[in-house]
């Protein structure tokens, strides 16, 4: 039976099926006859060390996360029926830990209600409380901020009233659990009704109504309560609703506004007076009001992420300037230094009001200034009445926020009512110096491995640094960096990794390089500081949070980490911020898959292996550098998820098994590798993309340097991918390019190019067919970490030696040590910088990865003939990668 491309005509399947976010709606994988599941290759015993205990946030402290949409029933055609319940997992998602969470902060939106009704958000598995979280009217979208405790299953439940409606749930933050009632911080409680003015028959008016909130679940001495205020039966629309501590000054800023004939709910944090009461009033007219306490605040807000209230301060009212906020525009406002908010504050508690007007439609969302616009929203504006919401917003790197409008044009009011104090910054632990000091051990690959890196370093110092680097360092490295034709961030980071690796492993030779060790370290410092300090974590508008930024940041961070003791404090601070930011960004992204769990082709002809493996690098780098960080476990969970999906096959979905204690069926969202182990990209069988398995192995190298256990998922599927390079045969008579054969064993009498470079591309390669170093790296890693031991494989050491020999010969062609003399050999504009990166990874593999678990070939297995697909999908439209082709190379 052929082990070739047994899934044919991928492009013939529809690609529009939409998967539910985060597995809320689980698709069923199609049955596969006699699936073969191969467990991850055994990792060396050296990886068995456990991680140290992670830091635990102080009880009741708040941690903001980047706003993340957890579910939108419109996208999965799962509209919530009357009386229906939607269970939404929250723990372990978007940076929220699996344990130690007392409550989550959500934005819940009801959309397109069939009639007026309400939603109640509560702990999953608990009885539905007699309160409401969101009150909605027919067809009108209504949102509210909701504080909810997760249930024992790590989820919250949204229970609907007597109408059908679509529901959107966005996650914006979480509070650490507070086991003791008097502990400083925010404590979530079961919703407790403290006022329903309909029962007393006395509506709330401009005269304050005092409501006792202390008692029951709320202890005495609290500073504030978190309450849901619902207006019912208002005398008019647009009446301001005011709340404040009893005995305190009456505020001028409202918490919400009424809509005549409609119930409107708004969550607020309101101070509690010495008498244990809060005051409620309107700014005019009257309304009945229902007040439900859902949490309380103890303490004055010490450092560490505690919530602290301030006297309300109007930050901006666009009506005073006469310029409304239009769709797509941002309204930035500085928060730090105003209203008593100190430098270092992590988030702001704000009331955002959309002012009514003829064009005041659409949504508003508030983000840290400089942050990307999320797919979430804070409130839905209306043309007829004001809409106000109280939100907690993480501050940008400049201590500011920005209100972003999507749709419509209208005025906006922003009031500051509190802030969250600074959160602890994790400590960076340097790599294992003793491991690095071992250097490259003697062995068959040592001389050539060291030679390739030293020659690359010689080219870097002698040619690249004076001639190429200045232009790259001068690039903007801003929010448009992903579209930069020079690929400056990545290229600089790759070269820095090559230099830093040479310096840290004893491979650096000052005589060969033509520069002293201190001069080379100065180059690393300049590159690392420039790249990291221009990241969005350090400057508004900086690069980051894009398609390839997790890879870029990992390259720069590893370069910095290997030379950590020699870096300036400024460079270290920027690197740490960059690593934290990109690791957190990765927690908000779902894995890429070519084919979904249900068999729908999502990316015709394009595996998601590469993206998954580089997205895993961001959290892996953070775990390795900051192993005791609070968010460590969330990063590790994200890392495992990306690694498991990277080189997954359909058999992994159906064959059972688990990695890192998690069933594969729960980790995988689809598959990326063909059943025969080949990787398809750009509409071709792509051996060069198979070598991206080295990015998965990078996570093993990082773990070794940190002295802890690497995820089992790092090596999942790599044996099949590596084996495919050896035993998949592509015959010319079946439509494959000459000379035919296997990637690693072209048939005798092949073309001169195939013989020269030692690698065969059965369907060509739009990046050029001259790369050999990626294959040498993968060979060395297969040897070191045991995924090249299938009896059908060639000896990976023989293969590595052959490919390294080619690489040394290629560098010898140029006096300055460059790898490529003709751009057509490798068309990527950063080909020499990529050489530096690959050489660095190869040397680190030789230093850190002693041979583990090899077995001899005991029974020869004949290569199997691969039949070509009846139709292999055409490459997708030109996208992000096309601009990186060297302009000197024709694409014709």
- Asked if pLDDT for residue 48 goes beyond 80, the answer is no
Three state DSSP letters for 763-825: CCCCCCCCCCHHHHHHHHHHHHHCCCCCCCCCCHHHHHHHHHHHHHHHHCCCCCCCCCCCHHH
Residue whose C-alpha is closest to residue 297's, from 358, 408, 240, 219: 219
Average pLDDT of span 853-882: 36
pTM, entire model = 0.86
Average pLDDT of span 74-79: 84
Residue whose C-alpha is closest to residue 639's, from 577, 747, 714: 714
Average pLDDT of span 806-812: 96
Report how far apart, in Å, the C-alpha atoms of 616 and of each of 172, 424, 610, 644, 840 are.
Answer: 23, 24, 10, 10, 19
How far apart are the C-alpha atoms of 313 and 416, rounded to whole Å? 5
pLDDT in tens, 729-771: 999 999 999 888 999 887 755 554 444 446 899 999 989 999 9
Residue positions counted in the chain: 892
Q: For residue 19, what pLDDT is reported?
A: 22
Name the percent of the chain in helix, strand, coil, to the closest 5: 30, 25, 45
Residue whose C-alpha is closest to residue 368's, from 336, 338, 321: 336
Of the pLDDT bands very low, low, confident and very high (cuts 50, 70, 90), residue 18 is very low
Around Cβ 822, how many Cβ atoms within 10 Å? 11
Q: For residue 98, what pLDDT is reported?
A: 86
**Average pLDDT along the chain:** 87
pLDDT in tens, 97-118: 888 999 999 999 999 999 999 9
How far apart are the C-alpha atoms of 177 and 59, rounded to whole Å? 5
Residue whose C-alpha is closest to residue 418's, from 342, 325, 474: 342
Average pLDDT of span 679-693: 95
- Asked if pLDDT for residue 876 goes beyond 60, the answer is no
* Under 8 Å between Cβ of 595 and 59: no
Average pLDDT of span 674-684: 94
Q: For residue 886, what pLDDT is reported?
A: 52
Q: For residue 139, what pLDDT is reported?
A: 87
Q: For residue 881, what pLDDT is reported?
A: 53
DSSP 462: I
Of the pLDDT bands very low, low, confident and very high (cuts 50, 70, 90), residue 183 is confident
* Under 8 Å between Cβ of 171 and 106: yes
Q: Where are the alpha helices (DSSP H) in 215-271?
A: none
Q: For residue 756, what pLDDT is reported?
A: 47
Give the residue with greater pLDDT, 526 vs 747. 526
The strands making up 347-354's β-sheet, listed across from edge to edge, are: 307-317, 412-420, 347-354, 387-394
Average pLDDT of span 241-257: 90
* 3 state SS of 691: coil
pLDDT in tens, 251-261: 888 888 999 99
How far apart are the C-alpha atoms of 100 and 527, rounded to whole Å? 39
Task: Tell me the torsion sign for CA atoms 306, 307, 310, 314.
Answer: positive
Rg (CA), the chain: 30
């Amino acid at each position: 039976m052929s082990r070739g491309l047994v899934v044919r005509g991928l492009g013939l399947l529809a690609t529009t099926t939409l998967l539910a976010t985060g597995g809320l709606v689980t698709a069923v994988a199609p049955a596969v006859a006699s699936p073969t599941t191969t467990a991850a290759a055994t990792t060396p015993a050296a990886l068995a060390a456990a991680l140290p205990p992670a830091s635990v946030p102080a009880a009741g402290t708040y941690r903001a996360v980047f706003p993340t949409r957890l579910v939108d029933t419109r996208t999965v055609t799962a509209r919530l029926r009357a009386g229906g319940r939607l269970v939404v997992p929250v723990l372990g998602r978007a940076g929220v830990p699996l344990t130690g969470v007392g409550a989550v902060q959500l934005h819940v939106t009801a959309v397109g209600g069939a009639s007026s009704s309400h939603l109640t958000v509560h702990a999953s598995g608990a009885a539905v409380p007699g309160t409401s979280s969101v009150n909605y009217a027919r067809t009108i979208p209504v949102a509210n901020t909701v504080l909810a405790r997760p249930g024992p299953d790590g989820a919250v439940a949204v229970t609907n009233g007597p109408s059908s409606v679509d529901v959107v749930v966005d996650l914006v933050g979480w509070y650490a659990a507070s086991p003791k009632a008097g502990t400083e911080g925010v404590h979530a409680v079961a919703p407790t009704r403290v006022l329903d003015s309909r029962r007393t028959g006395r509506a709330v008016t401009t005269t304050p109504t005092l409501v006792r909130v202390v008692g029951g679940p709320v202890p005495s001495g609290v500073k504030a309560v978190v309450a849901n205020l619902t207006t019912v039966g208002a005398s008019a629309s647009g009446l301001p609703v005011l709340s404040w501590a009893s005995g305190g000054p009456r505020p001028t800023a409202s918490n919400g506004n009424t809509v005549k004939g409609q119930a409107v709910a708004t969550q607020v944090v309101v101070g509690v007076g010495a008498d244990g009461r809060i005051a409620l009033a309107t700014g005019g007219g009257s309304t009945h009001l229902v007040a439900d306490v859902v949490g309380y605040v103890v303490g004055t807000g010490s450092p560490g992420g505690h919530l602290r209230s301030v006297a309300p301060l109007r930050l901006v009212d666009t009506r005073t300037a006469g310029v409304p906020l239009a769709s797509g525009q941002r309204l930035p406002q500085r928060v730090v230094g105003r209203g008593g908010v100190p430098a270092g504050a992590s988030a702001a508690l704000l009331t955002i009001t959309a002012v009514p007007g003829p064009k005041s439609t659409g949504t508003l969302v508030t983000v840290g200034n400089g942050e990307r616009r999320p797919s979430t929203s804070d409130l839905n504006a209306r043309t007829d009445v004001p809409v106000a919401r109280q939100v907690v917003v993480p501050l940008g790197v400049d201590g500011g926020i920005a209100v972003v409008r999507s749709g419509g044009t209208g005025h906006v009011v922003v009031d500051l009512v509190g802030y969250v104090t600074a959160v602890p910054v994790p400590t960076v632990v340097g790599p294992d110096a003793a491991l690095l000091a071992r250097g490259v051990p003697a062995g068959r690959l040592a001389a050539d491995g060291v030679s390739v890196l030293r020659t690359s370093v010689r080219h870097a110092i002698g040619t690249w640094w004076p001639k190429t680097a200045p232009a790259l360092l001068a690039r903007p490295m801003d929010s448009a960096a992903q579209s930069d034709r020079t690929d400056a961030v990545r290229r600089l980071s790759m070269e820095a990794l090559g230099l830093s690796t040479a310096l840290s492993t004893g491979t650096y030779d000052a005589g060969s390089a033509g520069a002293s060790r201190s001069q080379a370290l100065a180059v690393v410092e300049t590159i690392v500081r420039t790249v990291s300090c221009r990241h969005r974590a350090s400057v508004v508008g900086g690069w980051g949070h894009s398609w390839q930024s997790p890879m870029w940041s990992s390259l720069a961070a590893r370069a910095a980490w290997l030379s950590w003791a020699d870096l300036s404090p400024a460079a270290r601070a920027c690197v740490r911020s960059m690593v934290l930011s990109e690791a957190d960004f990765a927690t908000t992204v779902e894995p890429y898959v070519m084919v979904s769990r249900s068999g729908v082709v999502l990316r015709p002809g394009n595996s998601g292996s590469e993206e998954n493996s580089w997205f895993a690098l961001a959290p892996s780098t953070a775990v390795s550098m900051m192993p005791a960080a609070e968010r460590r476990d969330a990063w590790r969970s994200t890392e495992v998820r990306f690694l498991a999906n990277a080189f997954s096959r359909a058999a992994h979905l159906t064959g059972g098994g688990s990695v890192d204690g998690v069933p594969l069926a729960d980790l995988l969202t689809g598959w990326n590798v063909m059943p025969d182990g080949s990787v398809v990209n750009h509409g071709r069988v792509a051996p060069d993309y198979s070598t991206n398995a080295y990015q998965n192995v990078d996570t093993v190298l990082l773990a070794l340097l940190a002295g802890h256990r690497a995820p089992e998922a790092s090596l999942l599927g790599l044996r099949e991918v590596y084996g495919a390079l050896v035993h998949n045969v592509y015959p010319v008579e079946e439509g494959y390019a000459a000379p035919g054969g296997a990637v690693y064993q072209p048939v005798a009498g092949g073309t001169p190019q195939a013989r020269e470079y030692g690698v065969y591309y059965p369907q060509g390669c739009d990046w050029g067919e001259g790369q050999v170093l990626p294959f040498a790296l993968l060979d060395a890693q297969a040897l070191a970490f045991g995924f090249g031991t299938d009896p059908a494989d060639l000896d990976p050491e023989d293969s590595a030696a052959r490919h390294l020999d080619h690489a040394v010969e290629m560098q010898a062609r140029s006096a300055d040590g460059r790898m490529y003399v003709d751009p057509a050999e490798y068309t990527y504009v950063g080909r020499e910088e990529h050489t530096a990166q690959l050489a660095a990874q190869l040397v680190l593999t030789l230093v850190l990865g002693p041979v583990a678990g090899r077995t001899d070939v005991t029974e020869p297995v004949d290569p199997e003939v691969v039949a070509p697909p009846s139709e292999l999908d055409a490459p997708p439209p030109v996208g992000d990668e096309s601009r990186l082709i060297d302009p000197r190379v024709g694409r014709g």
